Amino acid sequence: MTQRKEALESIYDTHNLWLWNIIYGNLQNERHTEEVITLVFKDVWKCDQVLFTKDRQLIALLHLCRNKLTRE
């Protein structure tokens, strides 16, 4: 497994449920929540700073979520 994939899986395993609850709390729609989660993790995949840095990782994820939610 590549480092990139391992890093993404770790972030997903650590934060997915928490992020899902936040997004679903805002949208109240499971399908839209899954779409936003997918978009957020696609952005994470492209961003080495989020993938490979533990500092402020959760804050970066929250910013990505906020950006996606404001576009909904």
Query: 């995949």: which residue's tokens?
Result: 45
72/3 Cα distance (integer angstroms): 32
- What does pLDDT average to over the chain? 90
pTM, rounded to two decimals: 0.85
Q: What's the half-sphere exposure (Cβ side, CA atoms, 13 Å) at 62?
A: 6
Question: What does the domain layout of the chain look like in residue ranges?
Answer: 3-71
Given a cut of 70, whether residue 72 has pLDDT beyond it is no
**Which element (helix H / strand E) includes 22?**
helix 3-27
Q: How far apart are CA 12 and CA 67, in angstroms?
A: 18
